Amino acid sequence: MLVRIDTIPVLSFGGETMRRRAFIGLILGAAAGRPVTARSGQNATKRVAVLAPFNKNDPEAQVNLAAFRQRLAELGWAEGRNVAIDYRFASGSTELIRGAAAELVANSPDVIFVASNVSIIALQKVTTVIPIIFTQVSDPVGSGFVASLAKPSGNITGFQGYEPAIGGKWLEVLHEIAPDLRRIAVLHNPNVSANVAFLDAAKDAAQGLGITIIPVGVRTAGEIDPTVTAFAQEPGGGMIVTPSPLTNTTENRGLIFALAARLRLPTIYPYRLTPSSSGLISYSYDAVAQWQGGASYVDRILRGAKPADLPVQAPTKYELIVNQRTAKTLGLTVPPTLISRADEVIE
């Protein structure tokens, strides 16, 4: 269901590395003491809408939101005093995302902060005027969200997640850790043009590796299990998971991890692995940095800047995480060269 909240609950993140636990504790601790106000706050002079396509209880979503709120506070925006923030969560459902977009636009906020390509598509249908700042959006130019990265034009700009070429990089990394794979499924949402671009990039990269790329398209959560299981009926298979609200909810991440383990599919993920997960390998950008950057652009809009004058920013660093436990379970030997490049190795 569609969720509107007045506070962000604080969860425990046991099992993370000390570095990540310390950072999460800092940003959640800083944000937890301040309530999220409704747009009718008595002294609020600016109104910010946030469309998060995930479940509000998702630990990663909470970390990102806390980082966003903390950065806004650092920039001088105190909730309930000079800014009111109206949140919507849509639990990975395209239908709920559309409803949330319509609700937020109807409230006429000063700026909308949004995550995911699906959310931008929904907002484009209901406003061309309200400034929109995005984060974790892939291929914004190819998706038709902005005219160019340097000169976005229109009412939309923000922080790009992945470029289409990353599909080839995911394939190369997966091939490095599992060189005997000959069939690789690309789990994607065919309705998201960036997901299709990742698929095409993987196909191009596969030509010189003797690998066949199998498109595995899913539009609903109920399609994930049967389509992945059907692919795994033949031997020698692995999987690339592409980013979207559908694959990135807490429930569906867990389902995909479980399927990859049960079906013995070496899999690479576009979101950060944690020590508590059973994922094999991930290659991803820092989502927290993206949400912090988004807050800085929201600040600039609230102070009079125009989206067309703010260039789209790209990630400056990607993280490679390798799960040695899962590799051993799958009978894989992680090459020393890959270990040396990894930002984190889960033992």
Strand residues in the chain grouped as ranges (E): 46-52, 83-89, 111-115, 132-137, 156-160, 183-188, 212-217, 237-241, 267-269, 281-285, 318-323, 344-346
CA 207, 208, 212, 218 torsion-angle sign: negative
Distance CA 23, CA 39 (A): 29
For the packed helices 250-262 and 224-231, what is the interaxial angle rounded to 10 degrees? 20
The verdict on residue 8 lying in a domain is no
Q: Could you give the CA distance from residue 245 to residue 221 in angstroms, rounded to a whole number?
A: 10
| Predicted local distance difference test score (pLDDT) of residue 45 | 87
3-state secondary structure of 260: helix
Q: Quick one: 152 and 26 in the same domain? A: yes
Please give the average per-residue pLDDT across 166-193, as a whole number.
96
Residue 11 within any structural domain of the chain = no
Give 116's DSSP letter: S
Task: Render pLDDT for 14-71 as a digit per residue (tens, 0 to 9).
Answer: 344 434 444 444 443 433 333 333 333 344 589 999 999 988 888 888 999 999 999 9
Structural domain boundaries enclosing 273: 166-284+319-346
Residues 87 and 105 in one domain: yes
274 lies in the same domain as 179: yes
In a domain, 273, yes or no: yes
Residue with tokens 């966003």: 68
Q: Which amino acid is at 108?
A: S
Residues across the chain:
347
pLDDT digits (tens, 9 = 90+) for 141-175: 999 999 999 999 999 999 999 999 999 999 999 99
The residue behind tokens 């949402």 is 189
Judge contact between 177 and 335, C-beta under 8 A. Answer: yes
Q: Is residue 5 part of a domain?
A: no
Residue that wins the pLDDT comparison between 275 and 70: 70
pTM to 2 decimal places: 0.83
Burial of 321 (0-12, 13-18, 19+ CB in 10 A): buried
- Is residue 90 located within the same domain as residue 137? yes
Render pLDDT for 284-330 as a digit per residue (tens, 0 to 9): 999 999 999 999 999 999 999 999 999 999 998 899 999 999 999 99
Q: Which residues of 115-132 are buried (b: 16+ CB within 10 A; e: fewer)?
A: bbbbbbbbbbeebeebbb
**Which pLDDT score, from 0 to 100, does residue 23 have?**
42
**Domain check: are 150 and 50 in the same one?**
yes
Distance CA 141, CA 117 (A): 11
> Which residue do the tokens 């747009």 mark?
39
- Give residue for tokens 């340097």: 150
Per-residue pLDDT, 44: 54
- Alpha-carbon gap, residue 139 to 146, rounded angstroms: 10
Q: Name the least confident of 110-114, 186-190, 271-275.
A: 271-275
The verdict on 148 and 216 lying in the same domain is no
Judgement on whether residues 279 and 293 belong to the same structural domain of the protein:
no
User: Would you say residue 216 lies in a domain?
Assistant: yes
User: Is residue 185's pLDDT more than 70?
Assistant: yes
Reduce the DSSP state of residue 303 to 3 states and report it. coil
pLDDT band at 115 (very low <50, low <70, confident <90, very high): very high
Q: Is it the case that residue 116 has pLDDT exceeding 90? A: yes
Is 333 inside a domain boundary? yes
Domain-embedded: residue 3: no
- Nearest residue to 291 via CA among 48, 72, 44: 72
Tell me the C-alpha to C-alpha distance, in Å, between residue 112 and each of 76, 82, 193, 283: 18, 16, 22, 29
DSSP assigned state of 107: T
Domain annotation covers residue 146: yes
Based on its alpha-carbon atoms, the radius of gyration of the chain, rounded to whole angstroms, reads 20
> Two tokens at 197?
């671009």
Q: What is the per-residue pLDDT across 277-292, written as a single tens digit (0 to 9) for each?
A: 999 999 999 999 999 9
What domain count does the chain have? 2
In three-state secondary structure terms, 2 is: coil
190 and 323 fall within a common domain? yes
Degrees to nearest 5, angle at CA 326 with 324 and 328: 70
User: Are residues 337 and 201 part of one domain?
Assistant: yes
Which CATH number covers residue 145? Answer: 3.40.50.2300
> Tokens at residue 124, please?
């484009």
Same domain membership, residue 112 and residue 215: no
156 and 293 fall within a common domain: yes
Same domain, 280 and 291: no
